[in-house]
Amino acid sequence: SQQGEEDPQALSIQEGENATMNCSYKTSINNLQWYRQNSGRGLVHLILIRSNEREKHSGRLRVTLDTSKKSSSLLITASRAADTASYFCATVLNDMRFGAGTRLTVKP
């Protein structure tokens, strides 16, 4: 069963712009993770943020977590056409549940 909601459902930007995706969830979590999926194939783990962390960076990725609001955001800076993919947040307590996902299109 799906854990949370992501918005927007779809996002289209120009290369070089920043992309921000949001994730809301319903239950307590141990950590929250973001994954990327190209063309309906396997998912690639991007970043993990623990429930006691508020912000984390990895290269062009910046993730924030607000446990009081049960929400997270993923920021991709200086986007590239190769960033075009679907992005999912996943919450972890006893197992991992995915949010609905955001379809990002980066136009060259």
Partner 1 sequence: DTEVTQTPKHLVMGMTNKKSLKCEQHMGHRAMYWYKQKAKKPPELMFVYSYEKLSINESVPSRFSPECPNSSLLNLHLHALQPEDSALYLCASSPPRGNILYGYTFGSGTRLTVV
> Is position 61 an interface residue for partner 1 (rule: CB under 8 A)?
no
- By CB atoms closer than 10 A (0-12, 13-18, 19+), residue 69 is exposed
- One-letter amino acid at 100 equals A
Site string for partner 1, 65-104 (x = CB under 8 A): -----------------------x---x-xxxxxxxx---
User: Is residue 12 involved in binding partner 1 (CB under 8 A)?
Assistant: no
Closest contact distance (angstroms) between CB of 48 and partner 1 is 6
Measured CA to CA, the distance from residue 108 to residue 105 in angstroms comes to 10
Among 48, 67, 75, 105, binds partner 1 (CB under 8 A): 48
Residues that bind partner 1 (CB under 8 A): 1-2, 30-31, 33, 35, 40-46, 48, 88, 92, 94-101
